[in-house]
Amino acid sequence: MELFDNEVFKMFFYENRLKTFEGWPFDEDCACTPENMAKAGFIHTPSDNSPDIAMCFSCHKELEGWEPDDDPEKEHKSHSPSCYFINLKKNVEDMTMEEFLKLLKEKEDFILNKNMEDTINKFKEAAKVKRDEIVKSAMGEE
C-alpha cells in the first residue's frame, strides 16, 4: 500500500463520503440525512435488495434498515463502540498527525481482522463439509 495513496484516504473526507449518498432514501425532515450520515463516518453502499445500506469508512460496520428518526452518530456508536473515528469526533482536517495515523491504523486493523474472520469461517465450513464426507464414507453411505 502506498502510504498516501489518494484512494486510501478519499473517504476520510466528509465531502467525498457525502457524494456517495446519491439515491439515499432519506433526505429532509429526518435525522438520517445524507449530511448526518456522512458526518457520522458513513458511506452509502446500496444493493439491489437494500437501498439504505451504509458502511463506516473506518471500521467497515454496515448498517441497514434505517428509520427516519435514527441518529447516525448514536447508531454508529451503539453498533461499533470501538470505532476510533466515531469516538474521536473530529473532522480529518482537525486531527493531529498522531490521531490521523491512529485512524489509519485502526482502519487497517478492522480490514485485516475482517479478512481473517472470513478466512477462518471459510476454513471451518470446508472442514465441516469434508468431515461429513468422511463420516458418510466410513458408514458406507456414499
Q: What is the CATH number of the domain that holds 15?
A: 1.10.1170.10
- For 32-36, 101-105, 117-121, which range has the lowest pLDDT when averaged over its residues? 101-105
How many CA within 13 A on the CB side of residue 122?
6
Please give the model's pTM, rounded to 2 decimal places. Answer: 0.77
Q: Does 112 map to a domain?
A: no
Phi-psi sector, 75: left (phi>0), alpha (psi -120 to 50), beta: alpha
Q: Does 12 map to a domain?
A: yes
Quote the percentage of the chain above a pLDDT of 70: 94
Provide the number of structural domains found in the chain. 1
Nearest alpha carbon to residue 39 among 50, 31, 49? 31
H or E stretch covering 95: none
What does the pLDDT look like over 26-75, one tens digit per residue?
887 899 999 999 999 999 999 888 889 999 999 999 999 999 999 999 99
Q: Does 83 map to a domain?
A: yes
Residue 96 has pLDDT above 50, yes or no: yes
Q: Where are the beta strands (DSSP E) in the chain?
A: 42-44, 54-56, 62-63
Q: Does 120 map to a domain?
A: no
Question: Do 35 and 65 form a contact (C-beta atoms < 8 A)?
Answer: no
Q: Does 38 map to a domain?
A: yes
Q: Does 42 map to a domain?
A: yes
What pLDDT is attached to residue 2? 52
Which residues touch 108 (CB under 8 Å, ≥6 apart)? Answer: none
Compute the average pLDDT of residues 93-119: 91
Q: Does 124 map to a domain?
A: no
What does the pLDDT look like over 73-90, one tens digit per residue?
999 999 999 999 999 988
What pLDDT is attached to residue 117? 94
Q: Does 57 map to a domain?
A: yes
Query: CA 49: distance to chain centroid?
Result: 18
Range of the domain at 76: 6-107
- In our burial notation (b when 16+ CB lie closer than 10 A, e otherwise), range 67-94 reads eeebebbebbbeebeebbbbebeeeeee
CA dihedral 113, 117, 120, 126 (to 10 degrees): -150
